[in-house]
Every structure is written in C-alpha cells, then in structure tokens.
Amino acid sequence: MTDVTTSPESLFARLEPLLARVSKPIQYVGGEVNSVAKSWDSADVRWCLMYPDAYEVGQPNQGIAILYEILNERDWILAERTYSVWPDLAALLREHGLPQFTLDNHRPVGAFDVLGISFSTELGYTNMLAALDLAQIPLHAADRREDDPIVVAGGHAAFNPEPIADFIDAAILGDGEEASLQVSEMIRDWKAEGRPEGRDGLLLRLATSGVAYVPRFYDVTYLPDGRIQKVTPNRPGVPFSVAKHTLMDLDEWPYPKAPLVPLAETVHERYSVEIFRGCTRGCRFCQAGMITRPVRERSIETIGAMVDGGLRSTGLEEVGLLSLSSADHSEIGDVTKELADRYEGSNVSLSLPSTRVDAFNIDLANELSRNGRRSGLTFAPEGGSERMRKVINKMVTEDDLIQTVATAFGNGWRNVKLYFMCGLPTETDEDVLAIADMAARVIETGRQAAGSKDIRCTVSIGGVAEAAHPVPVGRAGVRRDHRPPAAAAAREDPRRPPLRQGHRHALPRRQARCHRGAAEPWGPPRRPGHRGRLPRRRHVRRLERALQLRPLGRLLRVRLGRHRRRPRLVHDPGARLHRGAAVGSPGLRARPRLAVGGLAGRARRVARRGLPLDAVLRLRRVPADGHRDPDRPDGAPPAAADAGEPLTPTTAHFANSLGIRANSSRV
Amino acid sequence: MQKLWVRYAKRGRARFTSHRDFSRAFERALRRAGVPMAYSSGFNPHPRISYANASPTGAATEAEYLEIGLAQPRDPDAVRDALDSALPQGLDVLQVVVATAGSLADGLDVSEWRMSIGGPDAGVTESAVRALLDRDALEVERMTKSGLRTFDARAAIIALWVVDEHTLGLVSRHGVPLVRPDDVLQALGRVEPRFELSQPALLTRLDQGRWNGDRIVGPFDEQA
C-alpha cells in the first residue's frame, strides 16, 4: 500500500524465459477473452483476487468471476487475478528472485492494496501460505508492514477462519458482492485521509463497522481440555458477534455477465448461472446449506437474460444452472423448458449440476436432453440405509430412488451415478453395506426397466469432511472385506482427502500459534490441488508444518489426533462462537441427540420467492465456564433429556434415531 | 458448404498456447464471431475445422494454416475481420481465402524459423553453424513417448545462417521424424562443444510452404 503512483513494472519480460521450462505455461500468461487490463494509476483501490489452487481449478470459480467483474466495473477500483503456482515454476521463481504475480498484467502481488482469497474448501489454506511466501509477504499478519497488502479471506471455508486467524488480516463472512465494495470504499477513504493509524487503523474500521471479522481484535481463552472457553473483543467498538453478509436480491446483481474464457483447459468449461443461493433442505452434513440461508431465487427473466448474454460474450456451448439443489427452483420446469426451446437445434446443452431424487422428474430430464444425448443421471442419496438418511436429514426414500431410476432407464438412460458418504455419525457397518444393496437393487430394477443387461451404475463413496457448521463426525465404518456387486464400479478412496479437510477447519487458532520460531523449517506445499494420495500421517505432518503447528504437548495433553477424534457438536463453541450462521430455526438445536436424532423433517420453504428473511444473527454469549451449548441460557440446567446415566454417544444417538429409549433392550 | 483457408499467427504471450488450447479458443471465437459453421454429422457434432499441422507449444508463429467449412457462403475478408476481433490478444487471423482444389497440408513441406538464443558469442555460433553444414549427417537424440529416439538432424536442413549475434535463421524440411529447431540447436552443440545455451531459445516460425529451390512459396501465394 504505497502512495507511490508509479505502476509496478510488469514481470513478464523476466518471466517469459522461465515459462518455456515449465509445464502448461499457458496457465500463467493471462490475456483471456473478457479479461480486463486497467491502468495502475487510474485506480484508487487495487485488489488482487486469488483462488488458492492451480489455474485449471481456480479459473472456473464463480466467486472470483463475480468479484472480478463487480470490482472492475467501478472506475476507481482495479482487480487482477492470481492462482497457485505449480512447484516447477515456483522453484524457478525463487531461484530468480521473482515474486507471485498476477495474470492480467504480471504485477507483483505484494504491490496491491488487498489480497482477497476465496476459500471454497479448507484445502486451500496451505496454498495460501505458499502464495504469501512466494509473494514475499510476511506469513503472519502481525509481522506485516504498512505497505503489504491487507489479506482478506472469503468464501465458504472462510466462514470459520480461526485455523488461519494468524495469517489473514480479515475475513468476510457470507456473500461478497456488496462487502467487497464496502471494503473498497473504506480503503479509499482511509488512503485519502492519509492512512490514519496505519494498518491497524484500517482494520479497526473494517471490524467496528461490522464489514469484516478481524481475528487480531479478539482474544481466545481455552479450557484445560483444549476446547475454547471464550472469545472476546479486545478493542472498544469491536462487535462481539459479526454478521454474515446476505445479498437479498440476486436479480440486482446478475454476475458474472461475461466470465473469462480460458485458453488453457480447465475443470469446468461452461457458462454457469446461479439460479438461486441458499437451501433449506437442511441436510445435516452440508455446510453450504447451513451458511447460505435463506433461499434467494433469481427470476426466470434474469436467468434467461444472463444465459443469452453469457453465451454471446463467451462462445461457450454448455449452460450450467447452478445452485445447491437446482431442481428446487420454484420455476425450474419453466426455466428449463424455455431455455431448451430457445436453444433447440443449436449445439448449446443444458445441465443441472445438483438435483435431488425427490425433486427430479422425467419431464425435466427430457427437457435437458432434447438434443438426444442421454449420457447419464447423477443422484446423491448420501446414506445407504433409510435410518442413515434420516439421521442426516436427507429424506429420500429408497422407493423414491428406485422409481426414479426405473423411469430413467425406461426412458433411454443407460448410466446412473450414485453418490454416498461414509463416516457419518452413528454409522454402523450395516449402513455402509446398505450402499451395496441399494446399488444392486438399482441395477436389477434398471435391467428390468431397460429390458437389457447393458446398463451401468457407478457408486462413488466419499468420507464426511467435518465442517464448522453442520453435524458432528463419527468414525467411518467401512468393512474392508466387502466388495461391491460386479456391475457397480466403486470410486474414490473414501476417507483421505476429506479427513485432511476436516483437520484444517478443526484447529483452533492457538494451535497455529503455539510454535512460531524464526528458524522454523517451512516449505511450501508441494502440490496445489486436492489430489490426496499421500499417506495420512505424512499429510498430517505436512499440514502441521505448513500451518506451523505443534501438538499442544504434554502440558495440556492435547494432541492433534485427540482433537480430531473428539465428538464435535453442531454448536461446538470452538467452531462458531462469535460468527453466527443464519440458522435461526429449531431444526438444528445444540443438543447433540436432537441434532443427530430422528429429526428428519420437510424443508421449510415458502412458495415462490417471498422467503423468510435472514434471521438477525443472535448474539451468542459464552459463559466463563465455557459450556458447549451457546443456545442454552447461561447457567440454565441441562435439558431433561441430557440428564441421567451417561451413554456412549453412539448408543444414545442410535437409540434416539430409532425413536426408542436408550436403555431399552432393543439396543 | 463453403471451404475457407485461414492463415493465423501466434504472437507474444499467446505463443504458449498449445495446439489443443488454440483449437478450443478458435471454436469459441467462431461462435462469438457468429460464423455460420458447418457441423459434422453424428452423435456428437463438431464444427468442421481441419488443421494443416500442429504448431509447437512455446513457439511463436506467423504462418499456421487451417481449413473451415461454412454452412453458408461468406465473404472471406469479413470472416477474417470478425474472427480476428473475436480471438484473444496474440492470436491473430492474418488472411482468409476461398479454398482451391487440393489439401492445405500438401503445400506445407518446409518451414522458415528464427531462433533467438543467449549464451554463445558470435564467433562460436559462426563456427558451430559452419561445422554442422559441413557434415553430411548428424545424429541427435530426443525423448519421445516411446523412449529415447536417435535420428539424423542434418538432412532436413535446407539453410542455416547467423542473422545476428543472438539470432539464427533456419529453413528446414518437414519429414518423419520431424526435425525441430530444438534438434538443430542440439546438433550445433554436438559439433561445437562451446555452443551452450544459457536458457531455452525463443522460436518463431516465419513462413511455411513449398520450397522452390530458392524461396518458400506459401499455399496462398500459389493461388495468386
């Protein structure tokens, strides 16, 4: 943040000879269609937006695309992009003393006012550190000088930014459209006033106005067992609770209008329109569904206009109707029909990336495949057994699924993909084995409906990644000797990558702080992305090293492993103390038995677009003794159901979900 | 169906575009420019584009050729302007003509290259070039998908000369295996051990076409 108005020199001339020596150099050159090259001096506030993964993963990200357009539309703001650099180029950059650079004009990241990093998953945390290091920005926020950029985290995995609290200056919770402009205005004013009180002055403005959560203005104390006792502001005017930003009218913000069209190959090459934001289905494992409430829909007119403009400006051939559960849009039938009518006869194809079995119907599928391609259908029952699905509140009955699949096979589809999770709370081996039974039934039904043996059912099983907001994690119960039926192809190692993800969010900030030596041997993560094929112990060690972690040691007898194994609650104080998600509903109470019990209910969703307003975030005060239930009034006795003989969580949860008393002989 | 021949260039940072990157960008540019493409028939229709050959990643070029099939006839100059403005910066459409009989690839036997090098001084480069041209054959090695392969780099060289201290000129014949400018630089290092590059050479293809014994005749020149 220098006041020097001369533009930093483009690094491209020094970069060019290095690019000839690395893999996929095209990912570093920028200059994509629809990219913006603004002059440095014309802007008052300069953002560097980063998606902390390789270009091929980061470029299609919607969040960055939206902010890139919104910020660059203002003539006083400039926004450029940067992504994780693969190790081959990173080594060359270090060797030649070159810093992390932006793609648009190849400027050093350290020259910008703000480095905004969008975290879709916790896996990006270590890539952020690698980028900061490569950018020659001090890793710890406390060490940064006045001319270093303000490091701001955003996105879903920044909703609980405690694991990276020492490395970021601020976190934006919730939707970034308006918040990014508010941050820009504050920086502009602060710069115009001559930077009163330096870096802290700006951060204090961000914190007191409630725009951002600034970790350094909060003190955290701990209980002897390592749980967080309380989180308190340490400056006057800093709010106890920070609200998330919620954009209420998506029609006023029809972004991205003209997303970048990459030259390099990327993971998604389609024009995506977010048809609504939020979801009220309340599946227990789903962080996104919890933190993006309420549901806000885009109108059919806006969707139509965005698709038209987006295809024109990009030349793409596929349209993705994006949301957490796309078939739940109140006008989804009309949306797909009108789009299918409009593009009939052309080569434009439509896709609904996330559909629920119970919301899906064959008319919808027929609209989506009018051009004749019936490649495959994907459903995510998530749990193998009915009981498991009740526990996670994903109310899809097996008969629903079988019926849908039978109709699909009867209508010409030949391939169905089913997504499941294992490691869900209260899971037993029977629940996991039920996945195989379900796949077998799908195949059997499919063969009958199709009248042919030539059908396929692909089963993907992922491990639950513990997230800060939804349900607790239990132990996975996969029986190793089990083999899926022959026609079902199982994919993916069930647990490794998500476990890594779970670790990161679960670390309180103290662990990130407890060892910070100047001579700490710190190496950047070797591999951006989430191709987690490493042995578990190695990646845990690497994560510790990357986050400069040490297990808390003998003094507190808390180790990383123990921390991870502790059953975590929906309202674990360590997870969501001073940042409330907009889950004001009774669907998710703090009491663990309710959270995992047979609470499965219907989605609360008002017809059409007049959905319940985002609950005003409740201030959650935590008493000094650090109880686990922020919803319960201070000092109130535990609820009756909690009293009595202590049970092991599994028995209790299991019993509860069956609707029987825990001490019954049936357990 | 109207067939058009297109000559395009990769310049500046776009020289890092691979052949596949270019083909994706080109298909999108066709749609943005509203060129009425003819599509292949079948289950998965593709626009009718055929590339005369693939241009190497990392090398700039002034002379690449491809053929497109249009569903309705269009003025070639209008297509050139529309395409050129729809393509990203650095990918430029230079010339569009109506296709004549024969195939584009048949007219592309020879390329002219500029190789921009750093490291050896002018005297070393001169002697390396002379030594290589004096040979009748010179084996070089290249790692291919099927393993290390050894082949002659000398026979493909029609002309090799020093343009200035940091630039070499090369006219080489396309053959199997294709002798690339990199192979020629490797050959120079073999005949003159002092010829060592400090960093990879920057390559530019200036022209492509038929060798008439004196100069390169491009496929569009033959038409005129």
Q: Residue ranges of the domains in chain B?
A: 2-106, 108-223
CB contact under 8 A, A29 and B13: yes
| CATH number for position A285 | 3.80.30.20
Phi-psi category of B209—alpha, beta or left, where left has phi over 0 and alpha has psi -120 to 50?
left
Which are the contacts of A457, defined by CB distance < 8 A and separation ≥ 6? Answer: A415, A416, A417, A418, A439, A442, A443, A446, A487, A488
Judge whether A547 and A126 are in contact, CB under 8 Å: yes
- Angle of helix A536-546 relative to helix A496-506, nearest 10 degrees, comes to 30
Q: What is the pLDDT of residues A510-525, one digit of tens each?
A: 554 433 332 233 333 3
Are both A217 and A111 inside the same structural domain? yes
- Angle of helix A87-95 relative to helix A125-134, nearest 10 degrees, comes to 20
CB contact A96 to B (< 8 Å): no
Amino acid identity of residue A580, one-letter, is: G
Which are the contacts of A193, defined by CB distance < 8 A and separation ≥ 6? Answer: none
Helices (H) and strands (E) in chain B — how many of each? 5, 11
CB contact B34 to A (< 8 Å): no
Helix, strand or coil for residue A18? Answer: helix
Beta strands A415-422; A456-463: pairing state:
parallel
**pLDDT grade for A651, boundaries at 50, 70 and 90:** very low
Q: What is the mean pLDDT of residues A273-302?
A: 86
Least confident of A93-107, A413-427, B40-54: A413-427
pLDDT computed for residue A508 by the predictor: 54
Q: How many CB atoms lie within 10 A of CB B205?
A: 22
CB contact under 8 A, A29 and B202: no
pLDDT computed for residue B110 by the predictor: 94
Judge whether B205 and B59 are in contact, CB under 8 Å: yes
pLDDT of residue A77 exceeding 80, the answer is yes
Least confident of A193-207, A460-474, A638-652, B92-106: A638-652
Q: What is the mean pLDDT of residues A292-298?
A: 88
CB contact under 8 A, A30 and B13: yes
Are both A386 and A315 inside the same structural domain? yes
Are both A226 and A265 inside the same structural domain? no
CB contact under 8 A, A33 and B88: yes
CB contact B19 to A (< 8 Å): no
Q: Which of A20, A30, A347 sits opposite B45 (nearest CB)?
A: A347
pLDDT computed for residue A518 by the predictor: 26
Are both A217 and A318 inside the same structural domain? no
Measured distance CA(B54)–CA(A104) in Å, rounded: 27
pLDDT computed for residue B102 by the predictor: 83
Instruction: List CB contacts (< 8 A) between A314 and chain B.
Output: 28, 32
Cis peptide before A470 (omega within 30 of 0): no
Question: Structure tokens of A80?
Answer: 């450029």
pLDDT of residue A556 exceeding 60, the answer is no
Least confident of A32-41, A267-276, A526-535, A586-595: A586-595
Are both A161 and A281 inside the same structural domain? no
Percent of chain B with pLDDT over 70: 99
CB contact under 8 A, A315 and B32: yes
Q: What is the pLDDT of residues B12-40, one digit of tens each?
A: 889 999 898 999 999 999 988 989 999 88
Least confident of A269-283, A428-442, A652-666: A652-666
Domain count, chain A: 2
Judge whether A445 and A408 are in contact, CB under 8 Å: no
**pLDDT grade for B51, boundaries at 50, 70 and 90:** very high
pLDDT of residue B112 exceeding 80, the answer is yes
pLDDT of residue A633 exceeding 70, the answer is no
pLDDT of residue A291 exceeding 60, the answer is yes
pLDDT of residue A330 exceeding 70, the answer is yes
Q: What is the pLDDT of residues A602-619, one digit of tens each?
A: 333 333 322 222 222 222
Which of the two residues, A574 and B40, has the higher pLDDT score? Answer: B40
Q: Which of B21, B58, B87 sits opposite A265 (nearest CB)?
A: B21
Q: What is the ipTM of this complex?
A: 0.81
**pLDDT grade for A443, boundaries at 50, 70 and 90:** confident
Least confident of A38-42, A112-116, A405-409, A547-551: A547-551
Measured distance CA(A41)–CA(A23) in Å, rounded: 34
CB contact B29 to A (< 8 Å): yes
Question: Structure tokens of A417?
Answer: 């993909």
Are both A202 and A288 inside the same structural domain? no
Q: What is the mean pLDDT of residues B208-218?
A: 90
pLDDT of residue A97 exceeding 90, the answer is yes
Are both A343 and A431 inside the same structural domain? yes
Judge whether A521 and A241 are in contact, CB under 8 Å: no
CB contact under 8 A, A19 and B202: no
Judge whether B132 and B187 are in contact, CB under 8 Å: yes
CB contact A26 to B (< 8 Å): yes
CA distances from A206 to A171, A560, B2, B9, B158 (A): 10, 33, 61, 49, 68
Nearest CA in chain A to B47: A347
pLDDT of residue A465 exceeding 70, the answer is no
Are both A188 and A273 inside the same structural domain? no
Q: Which of B43, B45, B89 sits opposite A31 (nearest CB)?
A: B89
CB contact under 8 A, A29 and B16: yes
Instruction: List CB contacts (< 8 A) between B44 and chain A.
Output: 373
Q: What is the pLDDT of residues A362-371, one digit of tens each?
A: 778 888 777 6
Q: What is the pLDDT of residues B131-165, one digit of tens each?
A: 999 999 999 998 888 888 899 999 999 999 999 98
Q: What is the 3-state secondary structure (H, E, C) of B69-101?
A: EECCCCCHHHHHHHHHHHCCCCEEEEEEEECCC
CB contact under 8 A, B17 and A19: no
**pLDDT grade for A584, boundaries at 50, 70 and 90:** very low
Helix, strand or coil for residue A378? Answer: strand
CB contact under 8 A, B13 and A32: no
Mean pLDDT for chain A overall: 72
Which of A436, A458, A480 is where one domain is finished?
A458
pLDDT computed for residue B135 by the predictor: 92
CB contact B43 to A (< 8 Å): yes
- The pTM of this model reads 0.77
Are both A139 and A22 inside the same structural domain? yes
Helix, strand or coil for residue A129? Answer: helix
pLDDT computed for residue B118 by the predictor: 86
pLDDT computed for residue B58 by the predictor: 85
Question: Structure tokens of A292?
Answer: 């993006």
Residue environment code for B136-155, b if the CB has 16+ CB neighbours within 10 A, otherwise e: eebebebeeeeeeeebbbbe
Phi-psi category of A53—alpha, beta or left, where left has phi over 0 and alpha has psi -120 to 50?
beta
CB contact under 8 A, B43 and A373: yes
Looking up tokens 């940064």 gives: A144
pLDDT of residue A414 exceeding 90, the answer is no
pLDDT of residue A583 exceeding 60, the answer is no
Which of the two residues, A581 and A412, has the higher pLDDT score? Answer: A412
Closest Cα partner for A525 from A545, A495, A507? Answer: A545
**Same fold for the domain at B2-106 and the one at B108-223?**
yes
Judge whether B48 and B68 are in contact, CB under 8 Å: yes
CB contact under 8 A, B18 and A315: no
Instruction: List CB contacts (< 8 A) between B30 and chain A.
Output: 315
A151: which strand partners?
A115
Instruction: List CB contacts (< 8 A) between A21 and chain B.
Output: 199-200
Are both A454 and A405 inside the same structural domain? yes
Most confident of A118-127, A342-351, A418-427, B155-164: B155-164
CB contact under 8 A, B13 and A265: no
Q: Which of B28, B44, B57 sits opposite A314 (nearest CB)?
A: B28
CB contact B30 to A (< 8 Å): yes
pLDDT of residue A549 exceeding 50, the answer is no
Measured distance CA(A71)–CA(A154) in Å, rounded: 15
- Quick one: DSSP state of residue A254? -
CB contact under 8 A, B202 and A20: yes
- The answer to whether residue A578 sits within a structural domain is no
CB contact A92 to B (< 8 Å): no
Q: How many CB atoms lie within 10 A of CB A606?
A: 12
φ, ψ of residue A640 to 5 degrees: the values are -55, -40
Question: Which CATH code, of 1.20.120, 3.30.70, 1.10.150, 3.30.379, is assigned to B108-223?
Answer: 3.30.70
Are both A33 and A109 inside the same structural domain? yes
CB contact B58 to A (< 8 Å): yes
pLDDT of residue B177 exceeding 50, the answer is yes
**pLDDT grade for A387, boundaries at 50, 70 and 90:** confident
pLDDT computed for residue A621 by the predictor: 30
pLDDT computed for residue A328 by the predictor: 86
CA distances from A605 to A282, A633, B209 (A): 11, 29, 67
DSSP string computed for A449-475: HHTSS--EEEEEEEEPPP-SSS-----
Q: What is the mean pLDDT of residues A200-210?
A: 94
Question: Which CATH code, of 3.30.70.580, 3.30.450.20, 2.40.10.350, 3.10.20.30, is assigned to B2-106?
Answer: 3.30.70.580
| CATH number for position A55 | 3.40.50.280
Are both A147 and A202 inside the same structural domain? yes
Sheet holding A271-274, edge to edge: A271-274, A318-322, A349-351
Least confident of A28-32, A120-124, A622-626, B184-188: A622-626
CB contact under 8 A, B24 and A31: no
- How many CB pairs (< 8 A) connect A and B? 76
Helix, strand or coil for residue A340? Answer: helix
Closest Cα partner for A568 from A502, A641, A614? Answer: A502
Q: The dihedral of CA A466, A471, A474, A479: what is its sign?
A: negative
Q: What is the pLDDT of residues A171-193, one digit of tens each?
A: 999 999 999 999 999 999 999 99
- Angle of helix A198-208 relative to helix A176-192, nearest 10 degrees, comes to 140
CA distance B58 to chain A (A): 6
- The answer to whether residue A475 sits within a structural domain is no
Q: What is the mean pLDDT of residues A479-507?
A: 39
- The answer to whether residue A94 sits within a structural domain is yes
Nearest CA in chain A to B117: A17
Amino acid identity of residue B152, one-letter, is: D
Beta strands A296-297; B2-10: pairing state:
unpaired
Residue numbers of the domain that contains A226: 12-233
Q: The dihedral of CA B22, B27, B30, B32: what is its sign?
A: negative
CA distance B200 to chain A (A): 7
- The answer to whether residue A199 sits within a structural domain is yes
CB contact under 8 A, A29 and B14: yes
CB contact B40 to A (< 8 Å): no
- Quick one: DSSP state of residue A634? T
Measured distance CA(A297)–CA(A309) in Å, rounded: 19
